[in-house]
Amino acid sequence: MTTFAELNATLIACRRCPRLVEWREKVASEKRRAYQDWEYWGKPVPGFGDPAGRVLVIGLAPGAHGSNRTGRNFTGDSSGDFLYPALYRAGFANQPHASHRNDGLSLQDMYITASCRCAPPENKPTPAELANCRPYLAQEISLLNRVQVIVALGKIAFDSVLQYYQSTSHKAGPAPILAPSTLIFAHGAQYLLGPDRPRLVASYHPSRQNTQTGRLTAAMFDEIWSQVKSLLC
């Protein structure tokens, strides 16, 4: 793919994973009672943001009644309700809320995408489904040629980044500086992926499971974005 428009047109039409296609369309058809008046997106969710951004944020997958409903990452669910205020405080977003695709939200110096593009049952994509989505992430990374920092929200996103760079080491430059076994997911961990490659910053995912239990606090999340800004040059 040579442009984001071409990539996203292919992505939105993707039907590679029968289980995910069935689930995303079932949810979009049946809807949640609170959203009966919505026309659900019900398709793979493309990335969005600043194509010239120096920061790439990677999440897990669309929420069944969040991004699968609105068609934009982290929009219309509790994860986005935690993420976008933090990005606004850090200066990466022009507003602290995200409710629908035409709500005026824009990102500065940042692009947001996901490891899996379709809403998975119980929010758990299979390894095969993640592998099916990986080429889309690879194409986004190749188009985002100014990225200096990648933020992985959760271990699945973290592993997706490592798998991408490990698979391209032999054809896209030197192997990562650190052996894969030393690249351990931990909140706030930071790794240089190799010469002329981005730094990888790990964060807990802003899911309700993490934010409501106190595993991820607003202060902890703010520190991640402060760390990211300090790495930009």
In the chain, the percentage of residues whose pLDDT exceeds 90 is: 89
Tokens for 33, please give them: 């009672």
Q: Is the pLDDT of residue 54 over 60?
A: yes
Answer whether 0.85 is exceeded by the pTM.
Answer: yes
Which range is least confidently modeled, 47-51, 104-108, 160-164, 166-170? 166-170
Residues 157-204 have pLDDT tens digits of 999 999 998 877 645 455 555 566 689 999 999 999 988 899 999 999
Torsion of CA 141, 142, 143, 149, to 10 degrees: 40
Burial class (CB in 10 A: 0-12, 13-18, 19+), 58: buried
Q: How many domains does the chain have?
A: 1
Q: Partners of 114 in the beta sheet? A: 59
Residue 169: the pLDDT is: 60
What is the C-alpha separation between 106 and 95, in angstroms, rounded?
Answer: 8
Distance of CA 76 to the CA centre of its chain: 15
Distance of CA 122 to the CA centre of its chain: 18
Where is pLDDT greater, at 175 or 44? 44
Residue at 178: amino acid letter? L
* Mean pLDDT of the 29-42 span: 95
Q: How many CB atoms lie within 10 A of CB 122?
A: 7
Q: Is the pLDDT of residue 111 over 70?
A: yes
Q: Which domain holds residue 119?
A: 4-231
DSSP-assigned states of every residue in the chain: --SHHHHHHHHHT----HHHHHHHHHHHHH--GGGTTS----SPPPPEE-TT-SEEEEES---TTTHHHHSSTT-SSHHHHHHHHHHHHHTSBSSS---STTS---BSSEEEEES--SPPGGG---HHHHHHHHHHHHHHHHH-TT--EEEEESHHHHHHHHHHHHHHTTTSSSPPSS-GGG----TT-EEE-STTS-EEEEE----HHHHTTTSS-HHHHHHHHHHHHHH--
User: What CATH code is carried by the domain that includes residue 202?
Assistant: 3.40.470.10
Task: Single out the residue of 232, 227, 218 nearest to residue 86, CA to CA.
Answer: 218
Residue 176: the pLDDT is: 54
Residue 166: the pLDDT is: 85
Residue 83: the pLDDT is: 98
